[in-house]
Amino acid sequence: MADEPSSPNPAASIDLYKFILPNPDGSLNRATPLFPIVPPTLTPPAESFRTKSNSNTPQLVLSKDIPLNPETKTFLRLFKPHPLPPNPHLALILYFHGGGFVLFSAASKPYHDTCSEMALSLRAIIVSVDYRLAPEHPLPSAFDDAVEAIAWARSQASDVDGRDPWLKDAVDFSKCFLMGSSAGGTMVYHAGVRVSDVDLSPLMIRGLIFNQPYFGGVQRTQSELKLIDDQVLPLVTSDMMWGHALPKGVDLDHEYCNPTVRGGDRRMRRLPKCLVRGNGGDPLLDRQREFAALLQSRGVHVVSKFDEGGCHAVELFDPGMAQVLYDIIGDFIECCCE
């Protein structure tokens, strides 16, 4: 008997819709057994470096949580390669996770693992932002939290004596990047334009990294119609998440959702270098291409990386595709820091 063909999509069994359950009060019961919450790793296992104690090459990643805003209950999860080499001068990457603004956390296993892998692969300090979720906190709450995280990074750059110990002797604050995946990519855009005319020195944001940013619009694109029943992000699920995230009474052409409305935010011309990453199996591909073209038309230096294969959030499920993404990001960081 011939072997049954394997699923071409490693995330084929995922249906986010069934995990987003509304409560009578309008909040959500986020039943996500596929994406458990994991604790940070503050210290390395005792046996990890018995044979490599003199090595300066990072072998694993440590992580810890620190508060961002106790009133809003937001926090940051820091990821640090271990051990650090002498005088590391690592880049600082502020990372915003995906989930359609309604799901997941910086502590959700796929995003915790992704940030750990990026810290090791890119030799960088990753700061993953646990922001407020809709519908309990509709947009622009998540954008506000992103700006607050940037303000935190600026305060860390300015206050040498009060700097977090993990950053104090490790980070070069002139090499800061904003990175987001899916909805996190949308946050990078809105936070980026908000701070584009703000003096953040001594913090310097060198570049923005958009990994399959999550955009929408009233007029359906060809890729949305072609992949209307996509196994990872079907159109009905995407519309439902936007319905939870957007302010009441607005449609998908609201500026929070569609960055191309009325030619885009005039402040985008001030954005630093941008990397826009997309995959051919993502229903949002056409919107990502349109977004990259809009940035470029406004004079922004854009590096576009669009592949034929892959699905939405493929790096969470396919280690090979994840490494391709990390290599692209590494090249972009190197280019921005030359």
Residues marked as catalytic: 182, 282, 312
On whether the CB atoms of residues 126 and 97 are closer than 8 A, the answer is no
244: nearest Cα among 137, 141, 145: 137
Say how far apart CA 245 and CA 172 lie, in whole Å: 35
Only one residue has tokens 């790793």, namely 41
Report whether the peptide linkage leading into residue 140 is cis, meaning its omega lies within 30 degrees of zero: yes
Query: Residue with structure tokens 């051919």?
Result: 280
Say if residues 318 and 325 touch (Cβ distance below 8 Å).
no
Place of tokens 């650090």: 84
CB atoms within 10 A of CB 163: 17
256 and 190 Cβ atoms separated by less than 8 Å: yes
Q: Which residue has the tokens 């011309």?
A: 269
Using alpha carbons only, what angle is made at residue 137 by residues 133 and 143, rounded to the nearest 5 degrees? 75
